[in-house]
């Protein structure tokens, strides 16, 4: 085999590899976790303050999967007089599976959600609420089986 054939083989393999990589890149989706991330970035100081308020309590939000339900429990000292808030389940691979549960004024500190209403996989759970005019924020990655 002479050097000319070897050069042609290397070029053909290179072009086949590049074609494969372009095809792979074309199938990728480029979703962001939040559609309005710029607005949320401007309000990020509230998130920092909420995390500090929760850290000062020495307790965290409990997120558990048991008996076919996803349980979200707010810490007792930060849930006595709930003003408002929301629990967001953000699916990292598909935003169509996101869930948002509002926390009502004077609502309960424990929320039970049926796990059948979720697509199985990893979620970023964000819990933001106000208790007695003090903001709290918690975030965790959770796998729903």
User: Do 41 and 8 share a structural domain?
Assistant: no
The reported pLDDT for the residue numbered 34 is 66
Q: Are residues 67 and 2 in the same domain?
A: no
Answer for the pair 25, 36: CB distance below 8 angstroms, yes or no.
no
Quote the CA–CA distance of 41 and 88 in Å, as a whole number: 17
Helix (H, G, I), strand (E, B) or coil at 109: coil
**Does residue 132 sit in the same domain as residue 75?**
yes
Report residue 82 as tokens: 């709930």
In tens, the pLDDT along 50-103 reads: 999 999 988 889 999 888 899 999 998 888 888 889 999 998 788 888 899 998
Considering the entire predicted model, what is its pTM? 0.72
Q: What CATH number corresponds to the domain at position 109?
A: 2.60.40.10
- Sequence-ordered alpha helix ranges (H) in 28-125: 37-42, 44-57
65 and 11, same domain (yes or no):
no
Which residue range forms the structural domain that includes residue 8?
1-30
Higher-pLDDT residue of 33 and 6 is: 6
Reference 103, options 82, 133, 89, 120; nearest CA is: 82
pLDDT at 133: 87
Shared-domain flag, residues 112 and 64: yes
Instruction: Quick: pLDDT tens for 94-128.
Output: 888 889 999 888 777 888 889 888 989 899 999 99
Same domain, 79 and 54: yes
Query: Are residues 14 and 69 part of one domain?
Result: no
Decide: 107 and 143 in contact? Cβ < 8 Å. no
* pLDDT for 88: 94
Query: Do 51 and 3 reside in the same domain of the chain?
Result: no
Same domain, 2 and 23: yes
Q: How many domains does the chain have?
A: 2
Cite the DSSP H helix spans in the chain.
3-27, 37-42, 44-57
- Tell whether the model's pLDDT for residue 31 goes beyond 70: no
The per-residue pLDDT for 72 is: 92
Same domain, 26 and 41: no
* One domain, residues 2 and 55: no
Pair 64, 12 in one domain: no
């Amino acid at each position: 085999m002479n050097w000319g054939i070897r050069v042609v083989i290397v070029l053909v393999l290179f072009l086949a590899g590049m074609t494969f990589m372009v095809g792979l890149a074309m199938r990728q989706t480029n979703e962001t976790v939040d559609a309005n991330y710029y607005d949320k970035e401007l309000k990020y100081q509230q998130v920092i303050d909420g995390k500090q308020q929760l850290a000062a309590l020495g307790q965290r939000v409990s997120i558990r999967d048991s008996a076919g339900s996803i349980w979200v429990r707010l810490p007792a000292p930060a849930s006595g007089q709930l003003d408002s808030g929301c629990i967001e389940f953000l699916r990292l691979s598909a935003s169509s599976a996101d869930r948002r549960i509002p926390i009502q004024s004077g609502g309960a500190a424990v929320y039970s959600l049926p796990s059948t209403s979720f697509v199985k996989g990893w979620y970023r759970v964000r819990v933001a609420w106000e208790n007695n005019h003090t903001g709290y924020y918690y975030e965790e990655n959770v796998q729903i089986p």
